[in-house]
């Protein structure tokens, strides 16, 4: 009787091996930070709605507009990271700057902010700074690898 069992072989002799390897590299390239895109979007979304969640919309009108604009900008960065990662991960440094600005903004933009406003912006700023630093690190690592 003939031996019809399937033996695992090496794919090196396959005619499409180089094309499959190139496609695999293309799919995985630049998407090292895919798990960061969602949290960045959520931080931006929370930043935009935080004046109404923390209830400082009436007492800090300048900070309300500030958080709304920065939250929308962070969310747009996250969408850009998802849609066109090769082009957008260069803006990860801007996200770090936004995080640092969010930390000091209650004293610069606000007028005598209370503890809730300060803690809110420090937490949002620290998360933005941390996520931006992660994006910068991974984007730099992926550029060195290519």
- For 67-97, write each residue's pLDDT tens digit: 999 999 999 999 988 888 778 878 889 999 9
pTM: 0.76
Region 50-68 average pLDDT: 94
**Rounded to an integer, what distance in angstroms lies between the CA atom of residue 11 and that of residue 19?**
12
User: Could you read off the pLDDT of 96-118 as tens digits, one per residue?
Assistant: 999 999 999 999 999 889 999 99
Percent of the chain with pLDDT over 90: 53
Q: Give yes or no for residue 131 having a pLDDT over 90.
A: yes
Q: Which two tokens stand for residue 33?
A: 């930070």
Confidence of residue 8 (pLDDT cuts 50, 70, 90): low
CB 99 within 8 A of CB 139: no
């Amino acid at each position: 009787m003939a031996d019809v069992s399937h033996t695992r072989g090496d794919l090196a002799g396959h005619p499409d091996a180089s094309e499959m390897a190139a496609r695999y590299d293309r799919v995985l390239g630049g998407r090292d930070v895919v798990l960061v895109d969602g949290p960045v979007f959520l931080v931006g979304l929370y930043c935009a709605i935080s004046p109404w969640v923390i209830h400082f919309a009436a007492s800090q009108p300048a900070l309300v507009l500030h958080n709304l604009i920065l939250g929308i900008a962070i969310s747009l960065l996250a969408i850009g990271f998802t849609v066109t990662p090769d082009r957008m991960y260069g803006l990860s440094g801007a996200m770090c700057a936004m995080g640092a600005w969010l930390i000091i903004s209650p004293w610069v933009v606000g007028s005598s902010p209370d503890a809730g406003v300060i803690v809110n912006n420090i937490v949002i700023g620290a998360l933005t700074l941390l996520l931006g630093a992660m994006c910068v690190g991974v984007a730099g690592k992926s550029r060195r690898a290519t």
